[in-house]
């Protein structure tokens, strides 16, 4: 089942897709991949008519009119897609937003924590799309225009490639949906400022909220740089960014250097980097945004080392970070020290905070390792070089 992120600020327990923008290596001449297009025939929960079916309640907007405005904006023939069924629902009674990353343990230890919230404190509407069911809308106390914006966002998720989370990554799928919402708002909803609200969500967010909001905001900025109209979105879907650095900087990221990492017994090196965006968000949880952005911009590659499946999963992690050059490595090391000074206590050999111990290792002129976890783990881990290979042993 393909499941999109929410279009509103919060809807409750968030899905954790396994897709990521970053990949272990970067092709200098990526080959565009074919786009899978949803079929025009109705799905089991789709509509057989030319009108949008609304179930479970009412909406203060004409969903059918919005659907056809959306199709026109995207340049689609009206026979290409059948209208989707919309279910009006109440949001969950309990809410938690978790970091949408495969490195949940690393994120938690670095302060990018899950955030609990009371759904009753959220006024803005939200939505959710799944490929096997209707579009779900949570109206809350949203205005008609805010609900209209949510509908347009979820309509874009409906027409995206079925494998979009796996192949494109969340920043592209969410950024594209925000982009369509912005273009729609400029034409029909001039009182709304979707870009400003997404930027506010990112700048003001903490922990998992900041990491999740980054996908929407920076994903939108990437899409907006690449195309001039929603009718051109297939170009983005056919040739998505290879890394978060490409997403952030808007160019082919050919400076991403190979980072071979060898691990000793009980450890394993992941084949998917955490990426520049995760690094930037992590640093920004304790430092100002410009400092975090400048330090993270030197990212060239990274590898997360974890416990293997037969060891103590809570022992710790080693995050090996490679930069483009020595100057950027020095800046990143200095900034990481400031980050740890802000969130932990320096005892001379380590930093300590909330049961986690941290240690920084300058592996070579362009490579830094962050060792973090239980004290025994941090003290026992050795990070070294063997030729061009970084060796992590315990």
Whether 209 shows a pLDDT value over 60: the answer reads: yes
Pair of tokens at residue 2: 């393909």
348 vs 14: CA distance, rounded Å: 39
Mean pLDDT of 300-306: 95
Cβ–Cβ under 8 Å, residues 211 and 99: yes
Residues 6+ apart with CB under 8 A from 70: 151, 152, 155, 156, 180, 184
Residues 6+ apart with CB under 8 A from 221: 175
Residue 268 counted as domain residue:
yes
Q: Does residue 206 share a domain with residue 68?
A: yes
What per-residue confidence (pLDDT) applies to 314? Answer: 64
Residue 306 counted as domain residue:
yes
Q: Does residue 117 share a domain with residue 235?
A: yes
Higher pLDDT, 167 or 213: 213
C-alpha 334: how far from its chain's center? 26
CA atoms within 13 A on the CB side of 195: 15
The fraction of the chain above a pLDDT of 70, given in percent, is 84
Residue-wise pLDDT for 310-322, tens only, equals 555 568 999 999 9
Highest mean pLDDT (candidates 22-31, 47-56, 182-191): 182-191
Higher pLDDT, 240 or 42: 240
Angle between helices 326-343 and 289-296 (to 10 degrees): 140
Of 20-34, 66-80, 109-123, 278-292, minimum mean pLDDT range = 20-34
37 vs 193: CA distance, rounded Å: 30
Residue-wise pLDDT for 77-115, tens only, equals 999 999 989 999 988 777 788 888 889 999 999 999 888
Whether 118 shows a pLDDT value over 80: the answer reads: no
357 vs 331: CA distance, rounded Å: 22
190 vs 155: CA distance, rounded Å: 20
Q: Does residue 191 share a domain with residue 127?
A: yes
235 vs 320: CA distance, rounded Å: 33
What per-residue confidence (pLDDT) applies to 1? Answer: 33
Residue 169 counted as domain residue:
yes
Average predicted confidence (pLDDT) for the chain: 85
Of 42-51, 263-272, 355-364, minimum mean pLDDT range = 42-51
Q: Does residue 323 share a domain with residue 381?
A: yes
306 vs 334: CA distance, rounded Å: 24
The DSSP code sequence of 318-338 is: EEEEEESSHHHHHHHHHHHHH
- Scanning 96-205, the segments in alpha helix (DSSP H) are 104-109, 144-159, 164-167, 170-188, 194-204
Please return the burial class of 128, using the count of CB atoms within 10 Å of its CB with bins 0-12, 13-18 and 19+. Answer: buried
383 vs 308: CA distance, rounded Å: 17
369 vs 390: CA distance, rounded Å: 10
Whether 53 shows a pLDDT value over 80: the answer reads: yes
Q: Does residue 234 share a domain with residue 166?
A: yes
Residue 165 counted as domain residue:
yes
Number of domains in the chain: 2
Whether 333 shows a pLDDT value over 90: the answer reads: yes
Q: Does residue 314 share a domain with residue 231?
A: no
**Confidence category of residue 7, pLDDT binned at 50, 70, 90:** low
Q: Does residue 273 share a domain with residue 205?
A: no
Q: Does residue 101 share a domain with residue 157?
A: yes
Mean pLDDT of 368-388: 95
382 vs 393: CA distance, rounded Å: 5
What per-residue confidence (pLDDT) applies to 322? Answer: 96
Tell me how long the chain is. 394
**Confidence category of residue 34, pLDDT binned at 50, 70, 90:** very low
330 vs 149: CA distance, rounded Å: 44
Q: Does residue 166 share a domain with residue 77?
A: yes
Whether 339 shows a pLDDT value over 80: the answer reads: yes
Q: Does residue 239 share a domain with residue 131?
A: yes
Higher pLDDT, 269 or 191: 269
Higher pLDDT, 6 or 138: 138
Q: Which candidate, 360, 346, 343, 353, places its Cα nearest to that of 374?
A: 353
Local structure of 301: helix, strand or coil? strand
Residues 6+ apart with CB under 8 A from 143: none
Residue 388 counted as domain residue:
yes
Residues 6+ apart with CB under 8 A from 291: 283, 335, 338
Pair of tokens at residue 76: 């689609």
**Confidence category of residue 352, pLDDT binned at 50, 70, 90:** very high
Residue 252 counted as domain residue:
no
What per-residue confidence (pLDDT) applies to 2? Answer: 39
Residues 6+ apart with CB under 8 A from 200: none
Highest mean pLDDT (candidates 19-28, 197-206, 273-282): 273-282
Whether 254 shows a pLDDT value over 90: the answer reads: no
Range of the domain at 277: 261-393
374 vs 315: CA distance, rounded Å: 5
Whether 151 shows a pLDDT value over 70: the answer reads: yes
**Confidence category of residue 47, pLDDT binned at 50, 70, 90:** low
Q: Does residue 235 share a domain with residue 120?
A: yes
Residues 6+ apart with CB under 8 A from 312: none
C-alpha 131: how far from its chain's center? 20
């Amino acid at each position: 089942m393909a499941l999109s992120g929410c279009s509103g600020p919060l809807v409750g327990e968030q899905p954790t897709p396994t897709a990521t923008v970053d990949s272990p290596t970067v092709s200098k001449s990526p080959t565009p991949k074919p786009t899978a297009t949803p079929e025009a025939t109705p799905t089991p929960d789709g509509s057989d008519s030319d009108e949008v079916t609304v179930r479970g309640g009412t909406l203060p907007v004409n969903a059918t009119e919005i659907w056809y405005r959306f199709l026109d904006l995207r340049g689609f023939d009206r026979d290409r897609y059948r209208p989707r069924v919309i279910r009006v629902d109440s949001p969950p009674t309990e809410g938690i937003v978790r970091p949408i990353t495969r490195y949940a343990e690393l994120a938690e230890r670095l302060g990018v924590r899950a955030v609990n919230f009371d759904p009753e404190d959220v006024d803005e509407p939200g939505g959710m799309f799944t490929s096997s069911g209707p579009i779900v809308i949570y109206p809350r106390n949203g205005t008609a225009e805010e609900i209209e914006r949510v509908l347009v966002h979820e309509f874009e998720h409906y027409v995206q490639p079925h494998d979009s989370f796996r192949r494109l990554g969340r920043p592209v799928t969410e950024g594209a949906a925000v982009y369509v919402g912005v273009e729609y708002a400029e034409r029909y909803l001039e009182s709304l400022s979707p870009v400003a609200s997404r930027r506010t969500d990112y700048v003001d967010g903490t922990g998992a909220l900041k990491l999740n909001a980054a996908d929407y905001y920076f994903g939108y900025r990437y899409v907006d740089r690449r195309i001039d109209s929603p009718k051109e979105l297939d170009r983005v879907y056919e040739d998505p960014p290879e890394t978060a650095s490409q997403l952030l900087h808007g160019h082919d990221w050919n400076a991403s250097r190979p980072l071979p990492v060898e691990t000793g017994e009980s450890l394993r090196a992941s084949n998917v980097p955490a990426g520049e965006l995760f690094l930037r968000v992590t640093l920004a949880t304790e430092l100002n945004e410009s400092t975090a952005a400048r330090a993270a911009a030197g990212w060239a590659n990274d590898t997360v080392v974890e416990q293997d499946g037969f060891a103590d999963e809570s022992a710790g992690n080693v995050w090996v970070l490679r930069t483009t050059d020595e100057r950027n490595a020095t800046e990143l090391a200095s900034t990481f020290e400031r980050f740890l000074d802000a969130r932990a206590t320096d005892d001379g050999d380590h930093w300590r905070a909330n049961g986690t111990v941290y240690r920084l290792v300058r592996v070579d002129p362009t490579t830094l390792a962050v060792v973090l976890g239980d004290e025994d783990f941090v003290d026992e881990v050795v990070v070294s070089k063997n030729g061009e290979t970084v060796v992590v042993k315990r």
